[in-house]
Every structure is written in C-alpha cells, then in structure tokens.
C-alpha cells in the first residue's frame, strides 16, 4: 500500500464513521468488542492510523480498518 493511497483514503470524509455505528453496518462486529479494540488501539500496530477522536466521539476510517484486518498497513509490514 502506497503512502499516497493511505493519505487519499484518510482525506475522504465519507470513509469515516463513528465507531458506535460500525455494528449497524457490519453486524459481525459487536459494540463491546470494537470498544475494547479501539480504546487500546495504540497497543496494536497500525490500528491508531484507522481511528481519530473528534471531540468526545471516536471515528473509524472503514477502508483503513479493512486494511488493518488484512494486515496490509505499513506498520504491520515492519515499515514506518
């Protein structure tokens, strides 16, 4: 995955969704699992790239989260 692709993906506002809405769109994830996953995101390489706090709400970049699940982010590849 090229850095420019990741930047483009992160700049698209349509890619960002509040983490509490993820289970509505992707029912295989439940809210409690996502909450513990994202609140400890700094412990998992690349996951902090997929999430941003805006005020008191946590937003997730859905395409980047998919890349993280697939192990395709640079942090997961040993690149920085």
Q: Note the pLDDT tens digit of each residue in 16-51.
A: 999 999 999 999 999 999 999 999 999 999 999 999
Structural tokens at position 67:
């890349």
CB neighbourhood size of 3 (10 A): 9
The structural domain count of the chain equals 1
Q: What's residue 78's pLDDT?
A: 73
Q: What's residue 79's pLDDT?
A: 52
Residues 6+ apart with CB under 8 A from 50: 41, 60, 61, 64, 65, 68
Q: What's residue 67's pLDDT?
A: 96
Residue-range definition of the domain harbouring residue 20: 3-77
DSSP class of residue 51?
E
Q: What's residue 80's pLDDT?
A: 46
Q: What's residue 2's pLDDT?
A: 85
């Amino acid at each position: 995955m090229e850095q420019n692709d990741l930047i483009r993906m992160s700049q698209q506002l349509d890619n960002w969704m509040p983490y509490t809405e993820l289970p509505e769109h992707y029912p295989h994830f439940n809210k409690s699992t996502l909450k513990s996953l994202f609140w400890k995101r700094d412990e998992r390489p690349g996951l902090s790239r997929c999430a941003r706090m805006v005020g008191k709400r946590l937003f997730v970049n859905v395409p980047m989260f998919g890349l993280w699940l697939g192990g395709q982010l640079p942090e997961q590849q040993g690149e920085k």
